Structure 1
């Protein structure tokens, strides 16, 4: 079993959902807590300063696993949630979870000034002004969004019909709001009941009852089927190499959570399929899953295992690869009579089935529509991913000032864009959208660890943009030149320099020239588009950052991206 170590402050805060995930999964971990007294300016302990210097981004939380380090709270929680079965049951649910957490992070940018003001000893008058004019409007907007989601989802959870890490993030924050009397209004009664329901879950309750009180302002949801197959496949050696990088987990978090030895993975390919066998539409599900598994690697080197109730991609890939897969054969190792009967029903996996037998209806490719303003902005990495994958999409652009946005705003999930519609299913929040598409198209990272690092880099970008946005809003809001200069020198420039230091540090260590692993990920697209925007706004000097420029040139030289960049609308933002 992996040795997990979580480093965070001596309070709940952003580290608490990760702690709760460990307790939910029954996985032991070392809970290292840094005392707040060690952080007081001028009195910072040597141990804290030394620890801080060694963290990936100069901050905590940090999760370590046998030497592998991961920073950024959302990346850590997402990584653990996927490991332990609380990320969502399919890619659409995962995207919805991501969107809710991203919305929470945006809201927290307005919650933070209020808590910081309390700690800084601001006067009652100043605190009331921050509370009433900054915090309360944004709090109400966020809580109303959460309340609406809960009322629309009959399960009582935020996403799907089971617990996800979005519930942990939101419920823990509701607990904080309740402690500071911000949920006393009768309007939030439904949210208080929801928070109490999450906290009453047996796996969480024992942890919550015994955790330190200090404050900082079962995969059994669906039926699993366990199959073991050996491959009789002409390209055995190639498939063996592909399976080496795949981590397959036994679906029983209460008893087991370890990775199979690598030789077991390719010699006894273990596929657990999360779908009810009542759905006879998937008559050849086992065969399709195996064909999908190999074809995803052949086409994109993607190592993500998708849940088996999403088969559009599988059927399309099977059609494309029908000819090279004609020699694909499988023989079951399972001897029990019940398993033999299942095998008999699924004639596509009979030993000696030299030609794939498929009666599943052909399903068309999803219809994608991306809605954003008529600029590059936060939607551009998603547009690039569509062009990289060669997947058609409707690029709906909103022009400022023509009244379109005012009519559309209330119809969006969170009252903002971008929004990606997939056959009518709406996904808000730019990071959730680009992550969803990257997973679909094979640009999310080749392993769970690479995916987590891509997430961490994008989260770091979002932290920087929260500071940079203050400068943009000051410029657009008609602030005086003196005020703008103050925000630039005290907020935006330090945040930019810290961000560039981190990105340059990653590129220094990279042997491939990419930010993560040895191939392009969505993190590269986000960073490259950001430096292009900063350069257009005189906030990036190319000569000072040759490695960032080299990354941009490398990414923009990819043929599909090069063609798009040459023809896309050229905008300042």
Structure 2
């Protein structure tokens, strides 16, 4: 999701060369198939590498029921697995190293490549260290999240970030190694994106790591300043906001509040609001219905976010699933009418983004959200993102 939109101009040359080569060698082009669960997880960096390279691939996402049947077929009975012209490669780091070498994201010299590997391996050690914390965050096991955050996650993060801070200070380019993007940068930025959203204090005391993440985020498209407040900082800024809440978009010193007003404005500005006035109105109607649905399930969302106390499993079953049944039923009709895979018309709109972002986030913890609604599954979304790179660079 971080790098899965149009790339900035400094990557245009690389993308154009790859596109020309693909056309010349189309009769014997490599066929890639990446298989993982319907979540970001350990396959996300591989997806980002495919999009950065403007390389087509088949993004296969399996649910729990299918996984039981597929598991014995996999090299180590786990995912992700990459198929390259029918040959299978397992282990996420091996997959990323392979793709990064193939697409040019491993460093410019053998020693830079070795340095990138060392950084990625250190991040892997860190991930193993915080595993007890991660499995609670993902809802796999019960435990004291706050205690583990304080005693395990934040100290481990401090140690890792101190190491990586030295790399950033030595590189002087904003990247971890050398003067160009590598897959180690993607790993760090992806981790910060996922956990920094849930635990904003993650970046406290590490402005270098924050600047690095913002640099990587900016590769995705329109440059902007991504300002994030911790819960401790927010009271000082609340009165500065039009309605005392966030998000707020500032453009040339003028402020715009309310998330849907912001999304509509940016979508119209960047071409994701529909192609005709009526399509634009239809997109707004879908987005407004989505907002009604979000308001309906807000008690569940507040418990999951840790704002309120409650039983998330019970609320999922008794509140979210019935509301989803109604809402997904509506969305299914739109998808069947459009016949394009998008909710309205023949191109992606911000209504598609709302639906995809919501379902992919919940599906990471509750894959059953898609049960009975295969049309709503976002597994084809990265096909659009790859096409976006091809069309716009």
In the superposition, the TM-score normalised over structure 1's length comes to: 0.35
Say which structure is richer in helix: 2
In the superposition, the TM-score normalised over structure 2's length comes to: 0.50
Q: Radius of gyration: which is bigger?
A: 1
